[in-house]
Amino acid sequence: MIILMKSLNEEKVVKRCLDDFHDLEWVDRVIVIDGKSTDYTVQELERYTKTEVYIHPWNDWYHDMEVCQSNIALSYVPNGELAFILDFDERISPQLKEELAQFDTEGVQCDVTGVARKTIEVLRHEDSPHAIIDTDGWPIESHQIGQFPDYQCRLIRRHPDLHWVNSPHHVMRGQKSEGDIKNTLAYILHYEKDDYRDRERIEKKWLRCQARRKMLNLPHDVFETKIKPEIGEYADPTFWDWRV
Protein backbone atom coordinates (compact mmCIF):
# COMPACT_ATOMS: atom_id res chain seq x y z
CA MET A 1 0.00 0.00 0.00
CA ILE A 2 1.08 3.59 -0.67
CA ILE A 3 0.85 6.28 2.02
CA LEU A 4 0.11 9.54 0.20
CA MET A 5 1.02 12.84 1.92
CA LYS A 6 1.50 16.58 1.29
CA SER A 7 4.07 18.72 3.10
CA LEU A 8 5.04 22.34 3.54
CA ASN A 9 7.62 23.24 6.21
CA GLU A 10 6.94 20.15 8.34
CA GLU A 11 10.56 19.63 9.42
CA LYS A 12 9.78 19.41 13.15
CA VAL A 13 7.08 16.73 12.82
CA VAL A 14 8.45 14.47 10.07
CA LYS A 15 10.14 12.06 12.48
CA ARG A 16 7.20 11.50 14.82
CA CYS A 17 4.81 11.08 11.91
CA LEU A 18 6.82 8.67 9.74
CA ASP A 19 8.21 6.70 12.68
CA ASP A 20 4.63 5.83 13.53
CA PHE A 21 3.98 3.79 10.32
CA HIS A 22 7.05 3.69 8.04
CA ASP A 23 8.31 0.27 9.12
CA LEU A 24 4.94 -1.51 9.09
CA GLU A 25 4.92 -4.48 6.74
CA TRP A 26 1.93 -3.32 4.69
CA VAL A 27 3.49 0.09 3.91
CA ASP A 28 5.26 -0.29 0.55
CA ARG A 29 5.89 3.34 -0.42
CA VAL A 30 5.42 6.80 1.07
CA ILE A 31 4.80 9.43 -1.61
CA VAL A 32 5.07 13.05 -0.40
CA ILE A 33 4.17 16.10 -2.50
CA ASP A 34 6.18 18.99 -1.06
CA GLY A 35 5.10 22.58 -1.65
CA LYS A 36 8.72 23.81 -1.91
CA SER A 37 9.48 23.88 1.81
CA THR A 38 11.98 26.48 2.98
CA ASP A 39 13.11 24.47 6.02
CA TYR A 40 14.65 20.97 6.18
CA THR A 41 11.44 19.02 5.51
CA VAL A 42 12.75 17.39 2.34
CA GLN A 43 16.05 16.42 3.92
CA GLU A 44 14.25 14.84 6.88
CA LEU A 45 11.94 12.91 4.56
CA GLU A 46 14.84 11.60 2.51
CA ARG A 47 16.22 9.85 5.61
CA TYR A 48 13.44 7.26 5.19
CA THR A 49 14.05 4.49 2.66
CA LYS A 50 10.44 4.06 1.53
CA THR A 51 9.86 7.76 0.98
CA GLU A 52 9.71 9.53 -2.39
CA VAL A 53 9.48 13.34 -2.45
CA TYR A 54 8.20 15.37 -5.42
CA ILE A 55 8.33 19.18 -5.40
CA HIS A 56 5.31 21.19 -6.57
CA PRO A 57 5.34 24.83 -5.32
CA TRP A 58 2.45 25.94 -3.11
CA ASN A 59 0.97 29.39 -3.75
CA ASP A 60 -0.73 29.84 -0.33
CA TRP A 61 -4.39 29.88 -1.42
CA TYR A 62 -5.60 27.52 1.26
CA HIS A 63 -8.44 25.23 0.13
CA ASP A 64 -8.05 26.00 -3.57
CA MET A 65 -4.36 25.08 -3.44
CA GLU A 66 -5.06 22.11 -1.16
CA VAL A 67 -7.29 20.61 -3.84
CA CYS A 68 -4.71 21.29 -6.54
CA GLN A 69 -1.95 19.64 -4.49
CA SER A 70 -4.21 16.71 -3.63
CA ASN A 71 -4.93 16.05 -7.31
CA ILE A 72 -1.22 16.31 -8.11
CA ALA A 73 -0.60 13.73 -5.38
CA LEU A 74 -3.17 11.37 -6.94
CA SER A 75 -1.33 11.57 -10.26
CA TYR A 76 1.69 9.85 -8.66
CA VAL A 77 -0.34 6.78 -7.67
CA PRO A 78 -0.28 4.09 -10.39
CA ASN A 79 -3.67 2.97 -11.68
CA GLY A 80 -5.06 0.08 -9.69
CA GLU A 81 -2.82 0.75 -6.66
CA LEU A 82 -4.21 1.16 -3.15
CA ALA A 83 -3.34 4.44 -1.42
CA PHE A 84 -4.06 5.80 2.05
CA ILE A 85 -4.07 9.59 2.42
CA LEU A 86 -2.60 11.13 5.59
CA ASP A 87 -1.59 14.60 6.77
CA PHE A 88 1.40 15.46 8.97
CA ASP A 89 -0.83 16.53 11.86
CA GLU A 90 -2.59 13.15 11.86
CA ARG A 91 -1.86 9.74 13.34
CA ILE A 92 -3.24 6.32 12.40
CA SER A 93 -5.00 4.70 15.36
CA PRO A 94 -4.02 1.11 16.29
CA GLN A 95 -7.43 -0.19 15.16
CA LEU A 96 -7.06 1.52 11.78
CA LYS A 97 -3.56 0.08 11.33
CA GLU A 98 -5.05 -3.38 11.75
CA GLU A 99 -7.78 -2.67 9.20
CA LEU A 100 -5.35 -1.22 6.68
CA ALA A 101 -3.18 -4.32 6.95
CA GLN A 102 -6.25 -6.44 6.17
CA PHE A 103 -7.27 -4.21 3.28
CA ASP A 104 -3.81 -4.56 1.79
CA THR A 105 -3.97 -8.35 2.05
CA GLU A 106 -7.58 -8.94 1.05
CA GLY A 107 -8.06 -6.07 -1.33
CA VAL A 108 -10.71 -3.34 -1.41
CA GLN A 109 -13.77 -3.78 -3.62
CA CYS A 110 -14.89 -0.14 -3.69
CA ASP A 111 -13.08 2.84 -5.22
CA VAL A 112 -13.17 5.00 -2.10
CA THR A 113 -13.36 4.22 1.62
CA GLY A 114 -14.35 6.96 4.04
CA VAL A 115 -12.34 6.92 7.27
CA ALA A 116 -13.53 8.48 10.51
CA ARG A 117 -11.38 11.31 11.89
CA LYS A 118 -11.26 12.34 15.54
CA THR A 119 -9.93 15.84 16.23
CA ILE A 120 -8.02 16.29 19.48
CA GLU A 121 -7.25 19.52 21.31
CA VAL A 122 -3.83 19.15 22.88
CA LEU A 123 -2.66 19.98 26.38
CA ARG A 124 -0.74 23.26 26.44
CA HIS A 125 1.70 24.89 28.83
CA GLU A 126 0.04 27.35 31.20
CA ASP A 127 -0.47 30.79 29.62
CA SER A 128 1.26 29.55 26.45
CA PRO A 129 0.21 28.65 22.87
CA HIS A 130 2.68 25.74 22.85
CA ALA A 131 1.63 22.11 23.28
CA ILE A 132 3.13 19.80 25.89
CA ILE A 133 4.97 17.07 23.97
CA ASP A 134 4.97 13.45 25.15
CA THR A 135 7.98 11.10 25.00
CA ASP A 136 6.89 9.77 21.57
CA GLY A 137 7.08 13.26 20.07
CA TRP A 138 3.29 13.72 19.80
CA PRO A 139 1.38 16.29 21.87
CA ILE A 140 -0.39 15.08 25.01
CA GLU A 141 -4.12 14.86 24.38
CA SER A 142 -6.50 17.17 26.24
CA HIS A 143 -10.00 16.49 24.87
CA GLN A 144 -11.93 15.74 21.70
CA ILE A 145 -13.36 18.66 19.74
CA GLY A 146 -15.54 18.97 16.66
CA GLN A 147 -17.64 16.36 14.92
CA PHE A 148 -17.04 12.61 15.28
CA PRO A 149 -17.09 10.55 13.18
CA ASP A 150 -15.94 13.12 10.60
CA TYR A 151 -15.85 10.77 7.61
CA GLN A 152 -13.26 11.68 4.99
CA CYS A 153 -12.22 10.03 1.71
CA ARG A 154 -8.86 8.57 2.66
CA LEU A 155 -8.47 5.06 1.23
CA ILE A 156 -8.67 4.81 -2.56
CA ARG A 157 -8.16 2.32 -5.32
CA ARG A 158 -6.66 4.59 -7.96
CA HIS A 159 -8.16 4.95 -11.43
CA PRO A 160 -7.93 7.92 -13.84
CA ASP A 161 -11.39 9.38 -13.17
CA LEU A 162 -10.91 9.93 -9.42
CA HIS A 163 -10.30 13.57 -8.52
CA TRP A 164 -10.89 16.04 -5.70
CA VAL A 165 -13.23 19.04 -5.92
CA ASN A 166 -13.88 21.81 -3.40
CA SER A 167 -12.47 20.90 0.02
CA PRO A 168 -9.79 18.19 0.14
CA HIS A 169 -10.63 14.96 2.04
CA HIS A 170 -14.38 15.63 1.80
CA VAL A 171 -15.44 15.70 -1.85
CA MET A 172 -14.14 13.20 -4.39
CA ARG A 173 -15.62 12.63 -7.84
CA GLY A 174 -15.15 9.94 -10.47
CA GLN A 175 -16.24 6.81 -8.62
CA LYS A 176 -17.40 4.06 -10.95
CA SER A 177 -20.84 4.17 -9.35
CA GLU A 178 -22.58 6.81 -7.24
CA GLY A 179 -22.81 4.57 -4.18
CA ASP A 180 -19.26 3.33 -4.44
CA ILE A 181 -18.07 4.76 -1.12
CA LYS A 182 -17.92 2.76 2.12
CA ASN A 183 -17.07 3.95 5.61
CA THR A 184 -14.99 2.50 8.43
CA LEU A 185 -15.25 3.58 12.08
CA ALA A 186 -11.56 2.86 12.72
CA TYR A 187 -10.24 6.38 12.91
CA ILE A 188 -7.44 8.83 12.26
CA LEU A 189 -6.36 11.02 15.18
CA HIS A 190 -6.13 14.65 14.07
CA TYR A 191 -4.11 16.81 16.47
CA GLU A 192 -4.50 20.53 16.76
CA LYS A 193 -1.31 22.45 16.02
CA ASP A 194 1.62 22.29 18.43
CA ASP A 195 1.66 26.10 18.34
CA TYR A 196 -1.88 27.48 18.53
CA ARG A 197 -0.84 30.50 16.46
CA ASP A 198 -0.38 28.18 13.46
CA ARG A 199 -4.03 27.18 13.82
CA GLU A 200 -5.07 30.82 13.79
CA ARG A 201 -3.17 31.40 10.55
CA ILE A 202 -5.01 28.46 8.94
CA GLU A 203 -8.37 29.85 10.05
CA LYS A 204 -7.52 33.20 8.47
CA LYS A 205 -6.77 31.37 5.22
CA TRP A 206 -10.14 29.63 5.40
CA LEU A 207 -11.82 33.03 5.75
CA ARG A 208 -9.79 34.41 2.84
CA CYS A 209 -11.14 31.61 0.65
CA GLN A 210 -14.67 32.25 1.95
CA ALA A 211 -14.36 35.98 1.26
CA ARG A 212 -13.17 35.32 -2.28
CA ARG A 213 -16.15 33.08 -2.98
CA LYS A 214 -18.53 35.73 -1.65
CA MET A 215 -16.92 38.34 -3.90
CA LEU A 216 -17.45 36.08 -6.93
CA ASN A 217 -21.03 35.18 -5.86
CA LEU A 218 -20.08 31.53 -5.46
CA PRO A 219 -21.50 29.20 -2.79
CA HIS A 220 -19.35 28.42 0.21
CA ASP A 221 -16.80 25.60 0.01
CA VAL A 222 -18.64 22.45 1.23
CA PHE A 223 -19.59 24.15 4.51
CA GLU A 224 -19.36 27.76 5.64
CA THR A 225 -16.48 28.44 8.00
CA LYS A 226 -17.54 29.59 11.48
CA ILE A 227 -16.16 33.05 12.11
CA LYS A 228 -14.44 33.88 15.39
CA PRO A 229 -15.20 37.50 16.36
CA GLU A 230 -11.52 38.34 16.88
CA ILE A 231 -10.69 37.54 13.24
CA GLY A 232 -14.07 38.39 11.70
CA GLU A 233 -12.62 41.07 9.39
CA TYR A 234 -10.83 38.35 7.41
CA ALA A 235 -14.20 37.11 6.09
CA ASP A 236 -14.97 40.53 4.56
CA PRO A 237 -14.14 40.62 0.81
CA THR A 238 -13.15 44.31 1.11
CA PHE A 239 -10.45 43.44 3.66
CA TRP A 240 -8.27 41.71 1.06
CA ASP A 241 -6.22 43.17 -1.74
CA TRP A 242 -7.10 40.69 -4.48
CA ARG A 243 -4.29 41.90 -6.73
CA VAL A 244 -1.82 40.08 -4.44
Which residue type, as a one-letter code, is found at position 71? N
Q: Is there a domain that residue 26 lies in?
A: yes
Whether residue 219 is contained in a domain is answered as yes
Q: Percentage of residues in the chain with pLDDT exceeding 90?
A: 60
CA 72 to chain centre: 14
Q: What pLDDT is attached to residue 61?
A: 60
Does the residue 59 lie in any domain? yes
Tens digit of each residue's pLDDT (9 = 90 or more) over 170-209? 788 888 765 556 788 899 999 999 999 998 888 888 888 8
Flag whether 22 is in a domain.
yes
Beta-sheet strands, E only, within 79-165: 82-85, 90-92, 112-122, 141-145, 152-157, 163-164
Q: Are residues 96 and 35 in the same domain?
A: yes
